Amino acid sequence: MEKVPRFFEAPSTSFFLFGPRGTGKSTWVKSAFPDALYIDLLDPASERAYSARPERLEERVHALPDGRAVVVDEVQKAPELLTVVHRLIEEKRGRTFVLTGSSARKLKRSGVDLLAGRALLRMMHPFMAGELGDRFDLCRALEVGALPLVVNSLEPMDTLRAYVGLYVREEVQAEGLVRRAGDFGRFLEAVSFSHAAPLNVSEVARECEVGRKSVEAYLEILEDLLLAFRLPVFARRARRATVSRPKFFFVDAGVHRALRPRGLLDRPEEIGGAALEGLVASHLRAWNDYSGGEHRLHYWRTRGGSEVDLVVYGPLGLWAIEVKSTARLRRADLKGLKAFVDEYPEATPLLLHRGDEPLVVEGISCLPVAPFLRALTPGKPIPTRLFAFHP
């Protein structure tokens, strides 16, 4: 597959670049900083050398001409280097440091704050549809996801299974993050049924037969490995009582599909609906992060049963987004959006569907999801009309 230009743009100063493995961080860095000193801590020899003697980095950097960039790939493998990087940034020699990472766990415990704001925090996500352009295929994205590692693979499902196994083996077991790999494996299966749904920790604990505290610890591990995220309930100026449980998502539809067991009792529309909502949620996260990170992503659910799948709030506006994995819309599908607009008249309601045509039903834009995702562009408001429509 030819190289895909990314929406991500490098800041003008030193920065951390976080993201799950397989999102293309290393590929992007090598392209954006071709002349940089590149230190790959996934290489066992490099990891051993810099972990044992972090000052080695300082010695190598001082041998470089002023202004030459330095890339430390997978910096969480040797967090001791952050103290050295901090000192080097303070020298103010016009040098950019790019520190990539696929896990925030070690850094949270031993280092990010050491840079004291000297390096910005940035995220890289799976491919957005707008990056892929005409190569974006909605059905394929729902089945295998949008991780560059998988999209570029000749055997995407095999790559997905290996990817999930890699995280369990290398990131969880090798780091000693859990004592019993079997418990964590059952947890992954159990929590996969919570994708795109309010998270009931006690129910997940019962399903995988481990304690609630263990499940909470496992959830934190998934988030630290950047494989999952939770969305809070939107409750600003709420007149109606809202629920308190956050909504849970895996970072990629393919990861969710690879983890979720399937059987004769599974309904395709149930799995497809969760996958579609997760794909939209991950696109909105990427849109926000690549736009400067000033918006917040939520969902809305009242104790009375009114619900909107996704809510985006920030300087550019307030959007209420309902996602329907169907090509045939019913007026009942607009019920949650109408309730939200009644609560928040400033909001822009939007319904995304699997049909072929953009519609306006009772004043609400109803857009085909694939062209909507292609039109979602960082730095621009969320599209509510598709004037240049391509199915």
Q: What is the pLDDT of residues 185-237, one digit of tens each?
A: 888 889 999 999 999 999 999 999 889 999 998 899 889 889 999 999 998 87
Q: What is the pLDDT of residues 137-160, one digit of tens each?
A: 999 999 999 999 999 888 988 998
What's residue 92's pLDDT?
82
- Tokens matching residue 354: 């699997």
**Mean pLDDT of all residues in 242-248:** 89
**Mean pLDDT of all residues in 27-53:** 95
Q: Confidence class of residue 182 from pLDDT cuts 50, 70 and 90?
A: confident
Q: What is the pLDDT of residues 254-300, one digit of tens each?
A: 999 888 876 544 555 566 789 999 999 999 999 999 999 999 999 99
Domains of the chain: 15-123 (3.40.50.300), 133-375 (no CATH)
Write a three-state SS string for the chain. Answer: CCCCCCCCCCCCCCEEEECCCCCCHHHHHHHHCCCCEEEECCCHHHHHHHHHCCHHHHHHHHCCCCCCCEEEECHHHCCCHHHHHHHHHHCCCCCCEEEEECCCHHHHHHCHHHHCCCCEEEECCCCCHHHHHHHCCHHHHHHHCCCHHHHCCCCHHHHHHHHHHHHHHHHHHCCCCCCCHHHHHHHHHHHHCCECEECCHHHHHHHHCCCHHHHHHHHHHHHHCCCEEEECECCCCCCCCECCCCEEEECCHHHHHHHCCCCCCCCHHHHHHHHHHHHHHHHHHHHHHHCCCCCEEEEEEECCCCEEEEEEEECCEEEEEEECCCCCCCHHHHHHHHHHHHHCCCCEEEEEECCCCCEEECCEEEEEHHHHHHHCCCCCCCCCCCCCCCC
What's residue 183's pLDDT?
82
- Tokens matching residue 272: 């497809």
Q: What is the pLDDT of residues 346-355, one digit of tens each?
A: 999 999 999 9
- Tokens matching residue 111: 């280092």
Neighbours of 39 (CB within 10 A): 23
CA-based angle 390:294:322, to the nearest 5? Answer: 45
